[in-house]
Amino acid sequence: MVTFEIRKPTSLEMCDTYHNFCPQRVCHLRSDMLGYILNMSNINAESRVLLVEHTRGMLTGAIIEKEPKYVMRVEFGHESIKINSEILHQFDYDPSFHSRVGSVHGKLLI
């Protein structure tokens, strides 16, 4: 008999999965380093966060778990102006969480 359990993904589980199967998609970010980044950033419910990332939404998803007031996400490194946040959408957050995230491409800031 095959049994399985469906759980909502957490940032540490997603980071472990990506690191084990395709680490280049998250810039070889390990779950222990993700935990260290989140611990040292000291983000709480009253925080407004400016995040510069190149992990396709992995760091953004981890920060959203801490439920800050607002996250402004700046992304560099891609030739197109399209914001690449494919991993962020895999977290399957409530739409109210996505309204707290703003995105801008680095080319627009330069």
- Residue-wise pLDDT tens digits, 23-35: 998 889 999 999 9
Q: Flag whether pLDDT at 108 surpasses 80.
A: no
**Mean pLDDT of the 12-31 span:** 90
Query: Rounded to 5 degrees, what are φ and ψ at 79?
Result: -75, -35
pLDDT tens figures, 47-104 = 889 888 888 888 988 998 888 888 888 777 666 656 677 888 888 888 877 788 888 8
* Angstrom distances, CA of residue 27 to CA of 15, 19, 22, 98, 101: 11, 9, 9, 23, 21
The pTM for the full model equals 0.80
Q: Say what the pLDDT of residue 109 is.
A: 74
Domain architecture of the chain: domains with CATH: 11-109 (3.40.50.150)
pLDDT over threshold 90, residue 40: yes
Angle (deg, nearest 10), helices 11-21 and 31-41: 140
Going by pLDDT thresholds of 50, 70 and 90, the confidence category of residue 10 is: confident
